[in-house]
Amino acid sequence: MCFIVTGCKYVAQMYPKQFALVVHPCAVGLILAGTVFFTSVEMFYVVPLIVGTEGLLYKIAWLVTIFIVFNLLGNMLACYRTDSSVENLPIDRQVPTPEEEHLWHHCDYCQVLRPPRSWHCKLCKSCILRRDHHCIFTATCIGHNNYRYFFWFLVYMMIGTFLSLATHLILFIINEDMRKNYFLFYLVRLDFTYLQKIYEFGFQFNCINLILVLNVYSFIFPLIMLGYQIRTIYLNTTFYTATSDLKYNQGPRKNFKTLMGKRGLWTFFSPVIRSPLLHDGTQWETKYLDINNC
């Protein structure tokens, strides 16, 4: 994970224009194609084998799927469309007042003073308020204004891929005919002979196991990213300043509201729920740090 992040960061720093031109469409396309693919496999193949297509359970499964896909893609779109750059601030807030001038820092790229916790992004060509990182999957920087959408985008990606994995497991447990189509069946019996005769298995065997492997990978990725982001919220740090930014920590509850807005947890239910942020991203409360304990 660190190796991939470092590699991407290096290429993005060296060739920002080419990086954005190639990587953004590929990464966004991967999310869109993955969502369509897994939704189709689940709702037209796996779930019908478990509950059929006639009953109430299948209708409920569709409602849950629509809710998850709406929130996944809705938060992704809102994240892309919500600007966290300093240029998005009212003109009078783009310059510090005399009292806060000592807290602002100089950006070598923009050649002006910038608010605390804002950092320049070469890909976005601007300074981003409370910059967390540049996300290739939403093709934008994650900062003060769009953090909420990015967080729920990850949560819904994890929920969707987890439920997809869970349905495979249920199918494996309850459907005797399908069980032998999963390599899990041979793995739990420590029967490795299937590796020698893998070419003998049918199309269904190969497809279902390939989907399962892709599903495991697509579940692990948001899970790892979410781990980083839960730590970020818990300590009010950022992806790149996880250990050096601790002075902004106001406790988990206040940190959560600062990043998600006044409606806090309600933002889970939809990206269209309005949740005004506590401030404009230029003034950050700090807590006293005892340097002897640092």
Residues that bind Zn ion (CB under 5 A): 107, 109-110, 120-121, 123-124, 127, 134, 141
Q: Kindly tell me which of 10 and 109 has the beta carbon lying closer to Zn ion.
A: 109
Q: Kindly tell me which of 6 and 204 has the beta carbon lying closer to Zn ion.
A: 6
Smallest distance, Zn ion to C-beta of residue 229, A: 17
Smallest distance, Zn ion to C-beta of residue 169, A: 38
Could you tell me if 224 and 194 are in contact, meaning their C-beta atoms sit under 8 angstroms apart?
Answer: no
Smallest distance, Zn ion to C-beta of residue 2, A: 20
Q: Kindly tell me which of 107 and 170 has the beta carbon lying closer to Zn ion.
A: 107
Q: Kindly tell me which of 149 and 182 has the beta carbon lying closer to Zn ion.
A: 149
Smallest distance, Zn ion to C-beta of residue 186, A: 46
Smallest distance, Zn ion to C-beta of residue 138, A: 10
Smallest distance, Zn ion to C-beta of residue 89, A: 13
Q: Kindly tell me which of 58 and 104 has the beta carbon lying closer to Zn ion.
A: 104
Q: Kindly tell me which of 125 and 257 has the beta carbon lying closer to Zn ion.
A: 125
SS3 annotation, the chain: CHHHHHHHHHHHHHCHHHHHHHHHHHHHHHHHHHHHHHHHHHHHHHHHHHHCCCCHHHHHHHHHHHHHHHHHHHHHHHHHHCCCEHHHCCHHHCCCCCCCHHHCEEECCCCEEECCCCEEECCCCEEECCCCEEECCCCEEECCCCHHHHHHHHHHHHHHHHHHHHHHHHHHHHCHHHHCCCHHHHHHCCCHHHHCCHHHCCHHHHHHHHHHHHHHHHHHHHHHHHHHHHHHHHHCCCCCCCCCCHHHCCCHHHHHHHHHCCCHHHHHCCCCCCCCCCCCCCCCCCCCCCHHHC
Q: Kindly tell me which of 134 and 144 has the beta carbon lying closer to Zn ion.
A: 134
Smallest distance, Zn ion to C-beta of residue 20, A: 9
